[in-house]
Each structure stands twice: as C-alpha cells, then as structure tokens.
Amino acid sequence: MSIPIFDRAQSSARYIRAHITSDIDIVVVLGSGLGAFAETLDESAVIPYEEIPDFARSTVEGHSGRLVVGKITVPQEGGIKREITVAVMQGRFHYYEGYSLDEVTLPIRAFGAMGVKSLVLTNAAGGVNPNFHQGSLMLITDHINLMLESPLRGRHDDRLGARFPDMTEVYSREYQRAAEEAATELGVKLEKGVYLALQGPNYETPAEIRMMRTLGADAVGMSTVPEAIVARQMGMRTLGISLISNAAAGIAEGPIDHEIVMKIGETVSQQFSDLLRRIIQKIGTRG
C-alpha cells in the first residue's frame, strides 16, 4: 500500500525542520536559468534534494536540485532591521520528467505542513503575447490549466485542505500590488498576463500558439500551475512571475532552444534577483 501524500509531506517537513535554525517565512521556487537568486541569501544552509525524504530529483539543465534556506534583511525605521527567513528551491520537478503530480507538488505540501503561508513561483516561459519581448518579466494574474490533469485528483484526504478549493484568486492580488510597487521603485518594467500550462516537454506548434492567443494566454510553460493549485488548497498566498525567455512558435522567426532559455536567464539574473529581493521584503512584512 502506498504511503499517503500527507504522511510523505510530513516526513519531508520533519527533515527540513531539523536542518534549519528558524521558521520559514516565504518559499520561492526558481525556474530554468533563475537559480542565481539563491546565492544572494545571508546565513544560508543548503540541503540537496536527494537528502530530503520523498523529494524527487531535478533532471533538467538549469535546475540545481538544492533547497537553500537563508535570510533577507528588511531595514526599518530607527535603524531596526527585520530578518525574513526564505526557503529557495533551486529547481523544481516537472510532470514531463515522468513524475506524478503528487511528486511534483510534494515540496509545496511539505512547506504547508511547516506552516508556511507565502509562496513565490517563478518560471521561464514562452511569450504568446506579441507585445512581450525576450527578457520581459511577467506578473502572473491568472492561469489556464491545459496539462489535462489536476494534482488534486484521486481519493481525498481532508488533512490536505478542501476537496473543491475556490480558484477565484489563485495569485494573491495583494502580493501582485507589492510586486508592482517593487518594480516601480527599481525602475523595472513588469508586464502582467495569463500563464497557460501544458505537459511538455516538446515546445508548441504555431497553430497551438494561435489557439492559446484565442484562449487569452499571454505566456506558456510546463510548470507552476500544479504547485499553485496545491498551494491554494492549503491556504497559501501565491505570487507568480514568468521570465519571457523566448517568443513562442510563430510569434518570431527561428527555432526554440533550451540553451536560449538558459542564456536569457543569465542576462536578466541581476535584475530578477534585485526585484525578487525587494518583493520579498515587502510581502514578508505584510504577512
């Protein structure tokens, strides 16, 4: 008999809790090419995924497969400083790697079991909106799930949350406002749009991209949505940011290559890290 996902998440949570010195305030999941942000944390502890019970393994280039837990300082009035403890996943698990959605989303359930209520999901995505350029950052306002699978499918366990969670506000509007404030302060242009998720791993055809534009998508990728759904079920507040690493098929000429995704991530690495740090400082003080 397989071990229930709730119990596996508890096992992962116990291991992580035993290897850190303070409670986690915010979890950040980093997408392809965006892993450098984890190196900016202070007093960080590193836990390879293979050491955490029931965590899967990252097999995709650009996903280091490490959990980094460290601090971000928030300056306050009177010279007082507040520290926010941030857990950063340097890489995630994907459905297209052959993992089940239970395995893909187990880390989110583990952090939920630890009492974490704030989640930032990032990814590299293809630009469906022709007005987005390569290297743009897009605030995810909503999503379309065309993975044709839900991480909540199967026998329900009340300990995980509601059987039929409301999806009206998957991505916290308050966190979106905080992200927009942070972008304005840093002079960073932050697009807004709808993220559409597919199973992958192949990229989309031009005809599929035309369909997505008709459906109202602005960006397309192969992750994030299962994690966001599980976070919503568990009562976590989620912010989503996509790096538009390439124009989707048919939007621009030329082939699409994962190497391009990685290079664009390196190009915007500093800007992305500065923005993410400022966002965390804001949402970390709002609770």
171 is catalytic: no
95 is catalytic: no
99 is catalytic: no
Given the residues 13, 89, 178, 222, the one annotated as active site: 222
19 is catalytic: no
Given the residues 15, 44, 45, 96, the one annotated as active site: 96
Given the residues 123, 223, 242, 245, the one annotated as active site: 223
Given the residues 63, 147, 183, 234, the one annotated as active site: 63
Kindly report the CA angle at 68 between 189 and 182, in degrees rounded to 5? 20
178 is catalytic: no
**How far is 219 from 125, CA to CA, in rounded Å?**
6
15, two tokens: 């291991």
Given the residues 56, 64, 94, 219, the one annotated as active site: 94
143 is catalytic: no
131 is catalytic: no
Given the residues 11, 149, 180, 258, the one annotated as active site: 258
Given the residues 124, 178, 219, 234, the one annotated as active site: 124
252 is catalytic: no
Q: What is the DSSP letter of 222?
A: S
Q: What is the DSSP letter of 254?
A: S
188, two tokens: 């960073």
Given the residues 12, 32, 123, 129, the one annotated as active site: 32
User: Do 56 and 31 touch, CB atoms closer than 8 A?
Assistant: no
Given the residues 89, 97, 113, 219, the one annotated as active site: 97
45 is catalytic: no
Q: Where are the beta strands (DSSP E) in the chain?
A: 26-30, 42-48, 66-75, 81-90, 118-127, 137-145, 190-197, 219-221, 237-247
- Active site (catalytic) residues: 32, 63, 94, 96-97, 124, 222-223, 246, 258
